[in-house]
Chain A
Amino acid sequence: MLDQRIFDLLNTLSAAGVDWLAQEVVEGLLKGHVAEEPVGILRAVRAQTSRQYQDSWGVDYAASEQSSSRPIPAELHVDWAAAFVSRRLEETIALMSLAADRLDTIINGPEPRKSVEARIETRLARSDIPDDEGITRSRIEQARHGISALRVALEAWCGSPINGDLL
């Protein structure tokens, strides 16, 4: 049962063109908290992948049983969704920023240069956007600064009164 205020957020996300984020909000709320495979198990599994012979099976770990999920209580849906939306966008923009930095380093070489090429930023573009000129790192940073305003707006929304019952 979703808190009905979630639908306001979903409509807002969709109107902004980030339907994928609206979808992730719904999926996250419906799925709830899922138990994770512990890091120790993952390491043990990886160690096993390098063995060369099928008869050298040395099982020194036990994969967990398939997990079940724990639902997110409806009264926490709005807080969860608000935190998720701002964190998801912030993290995605951070990935773009780091990738742009690395591309500059790879193209310019390891030494910081003072010549003109060091000041030319590598632009990130997509092949499915016609004549995409791409975005520079400075535009990515501009988007990153916008996250603070988004967080404030989402926090205000979380504190707004509930206009109806839970669906």
Chain B
Amino acid sequence: MIPAVASALDAIVGTVTALQKANGAGRAYELYIMTAIADELRTRGCDVVVLRSDGSAIAPGDTDRKFIQRGGVPTGIFPASAGAGNASCFRFRKASSTQYWEIWNGIQFRGRSGGTHEIDIAIVPHEVGIMLRSSSIETSPTGRPAVAIECKDVGGKGSADEMRAFVARLYDLTILGVHWRVPHLTGAKQRIYPGAPPGNDSFQHFWEGNRLTLNVIARRTGFAAGATAMTPYYAIQPRGPVFPGTVEDAALTNEVSDWIMTNLA
């Protein structure tokens, strides 16, 4: 033990107890990126609000202004009937549109194999959130979000294996038109369900799915040499180092927001 270091650490960690959680730093990084996108959308004229887990919006005058971030093991969406004590999210709508979207953090999505995959930051139609919150139990959406961002707040550089893992995850989440025969894909005519509005038909092929969505790996540190060889073909955007003040940080926020403004209803 190093007493002086222990004392200084206790003062810091005792104030911000989330730092004691195994994923405390990682969740802080995800929240940083998530709030950057939400705030940028706000500056571009979008109507952006914070939703509690019961579906209610936090208003400026509310005294109960707590943004609850998902902790522990990743889960699906909890029912609104479970109250406001579960994870918060953002809801936004472009000024020119009536379509609302939600920005989620750390949600498990179910793939066509039946397995689940956590997406660190995901953007999905608001209707999907409404439908899942109306369930009586915690439920994962099946399919693929419009935007999927994998956040890597780790010291090591991004590897080819990390890229492979993300591609595989997206592959399992990509529902194609041919999958309506798969018994457990009850809503396979949509790219994400339940609840997706018209315009969310299942994809024709993986290539198309990768290009009709936005997929990003954002890293605090950069990528190891050779880690990006798979990315152009599978349309995975490598972003790093993404950190306050870096060129890549501003580029990530701006270009994700550009994509949303151009491609989402």
Dominant secondary structure of chain A at its interface with chain B: helix
A125-B66, A126-B27 known; A93-B16 Cβ under 8 A:
yes
> A66 contacts B225, CB within 8 Å?
yes
Cβ-defined partner of B243 (8 Å) among A37, A46, A91, A135: A91
Write the nearest CB–CB distance from A101 to chain B, whole angstroms: 8
Per-residue B-contact encoding for A36-53, CB less than 8 Å = 1, 0 else? 110101100110111110
Chain A CB within 8 A of B18 CB = yes
Dominant secondary structure of chain B at its interface with chain A: mixed
> B32 contacts A99, CB within 8 Å?
yes
Q: Which residue of chain A has its CB nearest to the CB of B227?
A: A37
Contact residues, B1-30 vs A (CB, 8 A): 1-2, 4-13, 15-25, 27-29
A8-B2, A66-B225, A153-B7 known; A96-B156 Cβ under 8 A:
no
Contact residues, B143-197 vs A (CB, 8 A): 154-157, 160
> B32 contacts A95, CB within 8 Å?
yes
Cα distance A106–B60 when bound, in Å? 9
Cα distance A107–B64 when bound, in Å? 12
Q: How large is the interface on B (under 10, 10 to 19, 20 to 34, 35 or more residues)?
A: 35 or more
Among the 9-residue stretches B35-43, B94-102, B110-118, B125-133, the one with 4 or more Cβ atoms under 8 Å from chain A is B35-43
Cβ-defined partner of B5 (8 Å) among A109, A147, A150: A150
Chain A CB within 8 A of B86 CB = yes
> A156 contacts B4, CB within 8 Å?
yes
Q: Chain B residues with Cβ under 8 A from A12's Cβ? A: 1-2, 5-6, 9
Contact residues, A1-41 vs B (CB, 8 A): 8-9, 11-13, 15-21, 24, 27-28, 31, 34-37, 39, 41
Q: Which residue of chain A has its CB nearest to the CB of B154?
A: A24
Chain A CB within 8 A of B199 CB = no
> A42 contacts B211, CB within 8 Å?
no
Pick the 5 closest A-B CB pairs, nearest first. Answer: A128-B71, A48-B232, A128-B72, A66-B226, A67-B225
Residues of B within 8 A of A (CB): 1-2, 4-13, 15-25, 27-29, 31-32, 34-36, 38-39, 42-43, 48-50, 58-63, 65-72, 85-87, 90, 154-157, 160, 207, 211, 220, 222-229, 231-232, 235-240, 243-244, 247-248
List, sorted by A's number, 23 A–B pairs whose CB atoms are closer than 8 Å. Answer: A18-B19, A20-B25, A34-B224, A37-B225, A46-B231, A46-B239, A63-B227, A65-B226, A67-B225, A88-B25, A92-B29, A94-B244, A106-B39, A107-B49, A122-B65, A122-B66, A124-B18, A129-B71, A135-B15, A135-B17, A146-B12, A146-B15, A157-B4
